[in-house]
Chains A and B, each alone.
Chain A
Amino acid sequence: MLMMPPKLTIAKVFSEMKAIAHSAGKESQKAKKEKIQKLLVASRGEEAKFIVRMLQAKLRIGIQIPTLLQALAYAFTLTKPGKSCGPAAVTDRRHGQAKLSAAELEPQMIGMEAAVKQAFSEMPNFDKLVAALMEGRDGSSLLQVCSISVGVPVKPMLAKPSKGIAEVGERLSGKRFTGEWKYDGERAQIHVLSKDVIQIYSRNSENMTEKYPDVIEVVKQSLAEDVQSCIIDSELVAFDQVNRKILPFQVLTTRGRKNITVEDIKVNVCLFAFDCMLVNGQPLVKEPLELRREKLWSILSPAEGKVTFAVYRNFNEINEEEIQAFLDESIAGSCEGLMLKTLTENATYEPSKRSLNWLKLKKDYLEGMADSIDVVPIGAYYGKGKRSGAYGAYLLAIYDQENEEFQTVCKAGTGFSDEDLTTHYSFFKNHQRPCAETNYNVNDKLKPDVWLEPCQVWEIRAADLSISPVHTSAFGVKADGKGIGLRFPRFLRIRDDKTPEESTGSEQIVEMFEAQASVSGTAAVDDDF
């Protein structure tokens, strides 16, 4: 190096990072590279490590956003920012003349924490939050400036998984609730800033507006006359306009991501709206679901196959048979299951919370609905992060009797308890193979870090089966050049009573695939995969 660049400052790194995030268009890749290079060249000692981690969005310093929010809340309770023409800054309320006792401070700190967390869930922007706190706002006035607003996506409200109807009954007994079909698509938060400016955000608050120009158009046409702004929570689902059928999630993933024009769209989507957080500048998050739904229905007019509302049924009390019947209907309608939500009591919209007021009842959570599958681990991938030092994921295969080979069905990374991971690792580290067995049929893209000897059978359960371009089970049977894969596999137990050759066969996989409601009767669609 010719000359060491000046030391990095927090403000400089921040502005460079922001510039990287905002660079777009032609040669933006190059511009980003140069900015990163500049930062790295100027970094000293450990700085480079953290710059890279920031870029990966994995800081791994043991502090997550909740900790940060708590820290902010405490800081602004214990010390108070001074005002230019008002009271001077209070440096520490635990000391000095106006000192408060721990017992007095404690409730204030807890109250502030709740306020800060609520404010951040509605306005997930530290810039605005800290600015509001610096103005001296606290629990009572913070939400006035940090409330849900159009153009700032909030983290969607999430549902707790439930294991069965019995469990649902316990949780919801005595409350009025509603069941909605749970569509298998992409969560979409639609922000209508004005009739001409409509944005769509993903579950992770990424801007997907570019990806769905067709949806923007549809929303524009379906909005009621008197709506100037609103935020709608919805699910975008691939939809067969000709046969009026919901298509599986995989079809949706084949859509392009950028530079989409309405004319070129091959995969049509239908918007299933189910909630509404704001209408004409008025936040509705504190209103009960029943009222929010009423609002939603009043601002949007459905258009067949393009925009509609999630199918729902209200229940005044738990009736397991009726729920079961409604669940069966939803599955017959190509849905994943049901969402069960409280209607009036504790029925506010809680951004970013996995609330007990929303429960999901998915077909694969229900015992006896999907057959379990017996598979053989044939490869493993090293774990990252807290799983480093063991295998973090396994490549699973079934045995095809006819071709006498192991064919892959899925890669399983989630769905293991930490205990499972340790057990599997200590078993398989002694059963490694230097290369793939000759009877392994594995796509190059899935090449594991370590090959394993076929010596154990696992019973797993999966959400459903789908056509896969990488997995080799039942290869070419359902789609040319493609096999069948499992989605969301979960490990159940080790089957000591089976040999690897006795694992599930490829013909069974085909049968299960055919038995799925989401594909039955859509033979014509299969060809288009």
Chain B
Amino acid sequence: MAMVLDAQLQQAALFKKVAESMKDLCKEVNFDCSEKGMQVQSMDSSHVALVSLNFREAAFAEFKCDRPVSLGMNVDSLTKILKMTGPSDTLKIRHKGDTDVVNFQCEGSDDRISEFDLKLFQIENEHMEIPEQHYKVVAKLPSSEFQKICRDLKEFGETLHLTGDKDGLKFVVSGDIGSGNVLLKPRETEKPEEKVSLTVHEPVTAAFALRYLVNFSKASPLCGSVTLGFAPDAPLLVQYDLETEDKGHMKFYLAPKIDE
């Protein structure tokens, strides 16, 4: 039987990070494969957040996809399989036509080869057109810093009020024990990933559920910096490149909290 998908990643770790960053939001997702690469679009069960992965063909050492195919996988199972891989192992992802499994094979420098056939699911495809957004505020900051802010502030309240204006990017939270905020000012640094940059077309304040932001920020290992984009009454964009821009990106969208 002909191989429909035959892809090889130089480093299994990248795929592992991708799976890890999705698993708290979605249980089962479709990996839509085409000659351009792999794509995932999935919403969480309450339809508040959207995950959109674009894994470009350029990210792979080899990538062959004869015809478009959707591979429905359980994300939890996928992360379990990828746990078998070492940080510098290579990973092969293969799928034969008319079978209901996808094969993962990882090979370490020590000549050890592990292989796993994961059963595929039929998952309803809810492909969504994401309308082009015109963000009023676009900020780029170190991903580890974003993760720390989200985790720290989650201790105090459920809702984050995010403000972007000429002073900088302000994260405000209030809860039972009091209220607090973190202000990030744009800064230039030697290392590009430690830079904070901010573009404000007009000042914006919007509210978001911190619980989701903490989940999004688990994608930090993917890339040193993260891009946030927001506008009044519009979804928040949280974007991580897959190491570098040309390999693709992981985008999270989150509906704003209203009536508060």
A: residues with CB less than 8 A from B are: 1-6, 31, 34-35, 37-38, 41-42
User: CB of B46 within 8 A of chain A?
Assistant: yes
CB pair A2 B235 closer than 8 Å:
yes
Closest-CB distance, B239 to chain A (whole angstroms): 16
Q: Are B126 and A4 in contact (CB under 8 A)?
A: no
Min Cβ gap B168→A in Å is 27
B27 in the interface, Cβ–Cβ < 8 Å? yes
Contacts of B124 in A (CB 8 A): 6
Q: Is the CB of B47 within 8 A of A34?
A: no
Chain B residues, CB < 8 A from A31: 27
- A2-B254, A3-B43, A37-B46 given; name 17 further pairs at CB < 8 Å: A1-B46, A1-B255, A2-B43, A2-B47, A2-B48, A2-B49, A2-B253, A2-B255, A3-B50, A3-B128, A5-B43, A5-B47, A5-B126, A6-B124, A34-B27, A37-B45, A41-B45
Residues of B in contact, count (CB < 8 Å): 15
Closest CB in chain A relative to B47 CB, distance in Å: 5
CA distance A31 to B43 in the complex (A): 16
Given A34-B27, A34-B45, A38-B45, A2 contacting B126 (CB threshold 8 A):
no
Measured between beta carbons, the chain B residues less than 8 angstroms from A3 are: 43, 47, 50, 128
Nearest-neighbor residue (CB-CB) of B128 within chain A: A3
Tell me the B residues contacting A by CB distance below 8 Å. 27, 43, 45-50, 124, 126, 128, 235, 253-255
Specify the chain B residue showing the minimal Cβ separation from A35: B45
Give the shortest distance, in Å, between A92 (CB) and chain B (any CB): 36
- Please name 12 pairs of A and B residues whose Cβ atoms are closer than 8 Å in the assembled complex, sorted by A: A2-B47, A2-B50, A2-B254, A5-B43, A34-B27, A34-B45, A37-B45, A37-B46, A38-B45, A38-B46, A41-B45, A41-B46
B215 to chain A, nearest CB (A): 14
A1 to B235 CA separation, bound complex (whole angstroms): 9
Query: For B126, what are the chain A residues with a Cβ–Cβ distance below 8 Å?
Result: 5-6
Residue of A3, A31, A34 with highest tally of chain B CB at under 10 A: A3
Closest residue of chain B to A37, judged by CB? B45
Residue of A nearest to B50 (CB): A2
With a CB–CB cut-off of 8 A, which chain B residues contact A4? 47
Closest to A33 in B: B45
Query: How far apart are the CA atoms of A31 and B47 in the complex, in Å?
Result: 16
Residue of B nearest to A12 (CB): B124
Residue of A nearest to B76 (CB): A27
Q: How far is the CA of A83 from the CA of B45 in the complex (A)?
A: 41
| Closest B residue, CB atoms, query A34 | B45
Chain B residues near A41 (CB-CB < 8 A): 45-47
Q: Which 4 A-B pairs have the closest CB atoms?
A: A2-B255, A38-B45, A34-B45, A37-B45
CA distance A6 to B46 in the complex (A): 13
Q: Report chain B residues within 8 Å CB of A35.
A: 45
Shortest A64–chain B CB gap in Å is 33
